[in-house]
Amino acid sequence: MELDFKGRVAIVTGAGGGLGRAHALALAARGARVLVNDLGGGVHGEGGSVSAAQKVVDEIRAAGGEALANGASVTDFVAVQAMVQQVVDAWGRVDVLVNNAGILRDKSFAKMDMADFRTVVDVHLMGAAHCCKAVWPHMVAQEYGRIVMTTSSTGLYGNFGQSNYGAAKLALVGLMQTLAIEGAKHHIHVNALAPTAATRMTEGLMPAEVLAMLAPEAVVPAMLVLAHESAPTRTTLCAGAGSFEAAHVTMTQGVYIGTGPDAPEQLAARLAEVTAREGEQVPANGGAQGALEVQKAMAARR
């Protein structure tokens, strides 16, 4: 089955270069009309110009596609609302949102300024929340939507010097989980993509041979799958160098210990049982944890 986006309208944030540009070009090549958003600043969030977005728009138009440029900062909710209205005014709907905009301000936590922590969270987490909030009523009204969050292996598994980035990126998975549940009845599917790609953010961090393997285009197939009308929902795909994996937040079966005075000691003694992964599950929602715990407690009373 060809993943066709004809008739669809997409917004891609942070699309003036790197991964976002690759996403925007791929969506347009498959028939989508694309709003290319980019603040046009540096990797640390400084500066700003719509020229980066306009360059990608020019590429899309030169290839016969339809595109619009937008230079809004995703941290500015009013500007984001205007961006979404720009799309609706031009094309009447918005079907796909790819939350890709991001910055880096790496330092070990001991040396990190809390203003840099907040700024990274504002761009990645609040930026995505702003964009989701702005498109949400339109997707609800049309009973259709596809949202892709850009998470990271740093958020899923950690990475030295990126506490701010990791916290924001894992928070996006939490946002995905709940929006997918709330959007289900309106056919709004929400997923996450954890890319490994060579962009401005990774220059100088890896050998040239490795960087060549990690072209942003190698991640694009996962985005297309997660943004297509056939997309799953509440799925986190990892992608890089032509390989694809899935990441899950799981819960083990655990053990029932009770609430007696020696519960802490029993838990410490049986921690290996609690963390054993045999029979682990991917909960359908947050209530699954409490349901399992109550079930085990009731069974222990019988």
Nearest to 127 by CA among 23, 13, 252: 13
The CB-side HSE value for 260 (13 A sphere, CA atoms) comes to 7
Nearest to 256 by CA among 295, 288, 290: 295
Label residue 153 exposed, middle or buried (CB < 10 Å: 0-12, 13-18, 19+).
Answer: middle
Structure tokens at 176: 């995905």
HEC string of 254-291 equals: CCCCCCCCCHHHHHHHCHHHHHCCCCCECCCCCHHHHH
Cα of first residue to Cα of last residue in the chain, in angstroms, is 53
> 102 vs 13, 119, 122, CA distance in Å?
9, 10, 9
Structure tokens at 62: 């030169």
Cβ-contact 8, 205 below 8 angstroms: no
Residue 93: strand pairing partners: none
Known catalytic residue at 144: no
Structure tokens at 186: 């309106």
User: For 107, which DSSP code?
Assistant: B
Strand 236-240 relative to strand 243-247: parallel, antiparallel, unpaired? antiparallel
Question: Exactly one of 144, 157, 165, 256 is catalytic; which is it?
Answer: 165
Nearest to 133 by CA among 70, 84, 172, 192: 84
Known catalytic residues? Answer: 165
